[in-house]
Amino acid sequence: MVSQLSSLTSSFSLADLRINKERLLQRLDQLAQIGAISDGGVCRLALTDEDKAGRDLVVSWMRELGLTITIDQIGNVVATRAGLEAGPPVMTGSHIDTVATGGRYDGNFGVLAGLEIIATLNENNILTRHPIAVAFFTNEEGARFQPDMMGSWVFSGGFPVENALTSVGVDGTTVGENLERIGYVGTVPCGSQPVKAFVELHIEQGPVLELEGFQIGAVTGVQGMSWKEYTVKGVSNHAGTTPMHLRHDAGYGASAIAIAARNLALDMGGNQVATVGSMQVKPGLINVIAQEASLTVDLRNTDETCLKDAEARMNTKIAAIAKAEGLKITSRSLARFEPVVFDAGIIDLVTKTAEGLGLSVKSMPSGAGHDAGLIAPMAPTAMIFVPSAHGISHNVKEYTAPKDLENGANVLLQVLLQLAI
């Protein structure tokens, strides 16, 4: 390996450096076989046996690349390539856990593109001034344990590791006992690893880039998010003999909340969105008025003031629904993140780098939450998006064309080089 950047021959320019697309695609395919489900999808929930197998495979690639690997108390894995100078690394990465019916690109692409960049630097004998690290964070999806983006939140010191370890999953087991079971309880204290800069490469998971004909998204920030679970309690009674005006129908109450959330987003307009993604009704019988219902409401906005306004409006609407139907409605917060604004300098660097590679670029916020949003308080941070076919993600039909994957990885390569030299 060369000892300094100036030893590069005059016939070679860092700006000419490109990743190996086929090697990246091969790794994406290999990782996708772990937890593979029908129609090309992937189910690799956090801290399951499948997640362990995925972690083991990625860690084996990190070792092959000669990286120094550390694991912290929440199971975040950081692999570092030394620089000419010691100090905090320029970091990239994402996550490798998936939702139950996920695809092969969400999260995984950002991690494996980082490894591909390391491989490219190694084979071209390029050593950067600052270290470069590739990380994957525990439980980004939140599909098994709450809150989502858990690992990166703990990594940045924003969420106590003790709270994370005692989080109980949908199967009744805890994060801590599952980390122990799969052998990924690390010794590095959480919040103790400084980062010089962080850049996350990700598929868009939305339709904007494809519909508007852009090849790269220079992500300006992440929407704020408010997740709440509501429990609606009424009175179970006969569906045929109970007059409508004498009912206390928990099923109706839950449905009214769902409609209110939809109308709220439409009324507020702008970047406000609202989703009811889960709803259950008990006793769940066709001829019985529901006694209890539970549902989730997901509110998001790029502006914190607007998000708080949306939360207040939902509270008012839900109180009115409870009074009108004679219901008891309680709630608990599942997650709450303020909107994040990314570093202007790195956003500009992403834009100029992509344009320099002849790629069209759109400045845009992220509608989804990402690890980068939790790292942003501790280091200058930004994201790079590549198009998602038909805007589909968290779905077995998730797809990004190989050329778009290559474009994104090459932009990330050049951005990391400029930050690390």
Detail the residues annotated as belonging to a binding site for Zn(2+): 95, 106, 141, 202, 394
Separation between Cα atoms, residue 177 and residue 181, nearest integer Å: 6
Phi–psi pair at 46, nearest 5 degrees? -55, 130
Nearest to 185 by CA among 98, 95, 111, 76: 76
Separation between Cα atoms, residue 203 and residue 407, nearest integer Å: 12
SS (H, E, C) 116-150: HHHHHHHHCCCCCCCCEEEEECCCCCCCCCCCCCH
Q: Which run of H or of E encompasses 385?
A: strand 381-386
The DSSP symbol for 343 reads -
Separation between Cα atoms, residue 365 and residue 273, nearest integer Å: 13
- Tokens matching residue 357: 């590679």
Report the binding-site residues: 95, 106, 141, 202, 394
Separation between Cα atoms, residue 263 and residue 411, nearest integer Å: 40
Nearest to 413 by CA among 37, 5, 15, 12: 15
Separation between Cα atoms, residue 199 and residue 202, nearest integer Å: 10
Please state the separation of Cα 151 from the chain's center in Å. 11
Separation between Cα atoms, residue 386 and residue 397, nearest integer Å: 16
Separation between Cα atoms, residue 138 and residue 133, nearest integer Å: 16
Query: Is 218:362 a contact under the CB 8 Å cutoff?
Result: yes
